[in-house]
Amino acid sequence: MPEPTFLSRLTGSFATSAAQNPTVAIMEAAFVDAGLDCRYINCEVGPDRLEAAVRGAVGMGWMGFNCSIPHKVAVLSYLDELAPSAQIIGAVNTVVISGGRLIGENTDGQGFVASLRTVADPTGLDVVVLGAGGAARAIAVETALAGARSITIVNRTAERGEALARLIGERTPATGTYAPWTPRFGIDPSTGVVINATSIGFHPDTGSTPDVDMTTLQPGMVVADVVANPPRTRFLQEADDRGCVTLEGLGMLVNQALIAVRLWTGEDVSGDVMRAVLEDLFSA
């Protein structure tokens, strides 16, 4: 019989505020289900304590950690290396600690693409991304790297929208275009995928939808939402009514967590376990 050990492998998250972050619940459930002696520690870390938290994780031998708002860009100052897509995105949400070196990854966009591939191959598709914030940036870059033909960034602030479209055009194989977000924005009928990459519709504001002319959505279009709570947003419900193929934000949330676990441990854990925990949490 192997000798018992009382030293768990550690991971966690640095964010503020951390209290509403459900990642700890899904990570710990997946670790238990997989029989992995790992723990995920949810930490409230303000901007003035980020450096200390990063150094502490290294000092305590953590496998790595997640970074959420407001640290996804600030943490770059403390890293030794960036994964290729994280370099393009310019932000990190997952850090791997290996041999004392800190390697930055961005699993948000990778998680979205993994979810998208359950309903459509992005290769050659024309994609519309609503928003130009952090989630939109990661999703746009990774979808472009996954083979999309074009990415149209729809945003009210021209400066941010144009900057992201320019990044897509210069750093990925896809064409990047900016479109001003005018009232009742119309979706071009050739569009393959429409993605709400904003927080519109997030609990408790569940009655809100992105300002899109829903009559311009075509049957068979993939319509995705990054909002995970509620999983079935009003935007997705209305798209479903028009015959679209809909993709919930839960898939992106689960997949980015699965990728992070694989980066830290080299192991695959159960996405079904993670999703069940989230569904229970969000239905409460």
- Is residue 156 very low, low, confident or very high in pLDDT (cuts 50, 70, 90)? very high
Q: What is the mean pLDDT of the chain?
A: 96
- Is residue 162 very low, low, confident or very high in pLDDT (cuts 50, 70, 90)? very high
Using only C-alpha atoms, the chain has a radius of gyration, in whole angstroms, of 19
pLDDT of residue 142: 97
Of 14-23, 156-165, 238-247, give the lowest mean pLDDT range: 14-23
Domains of the chain: 9-105+252-283 (3.40.50.10860), 110-247 (3.40.50.720)
User: Could you confirm whether 72 is annotated as catalytic?
Assistant: yes
Listed in sequence order, the DSSP H helices in 18-133 are 23-34, 50-59, 84-89, 107-116
Sign of CA dihedral 187, 188, 189, 195: negative
pLDDT of residue 21: 87
pTM of the complete model beyond 0.85: yes
**Catalytic hit among 24, 27, 72, 129:** 72
pLDDT tens, position by position, 68-103:
889 999 999 999 999 999 999 999 999 999 998 999
Q: Using CA atoms, how far apart are residues 215 and 186, in angstroms rounded to an integer? A: 8
Q: Are 70 and 88 in contact (CB under 8 A)?
A: no
Q: Are 131 and 199 in contact (CB under 8 A)?
A: no
- pLDDT for residue 244 is more than 70: yes
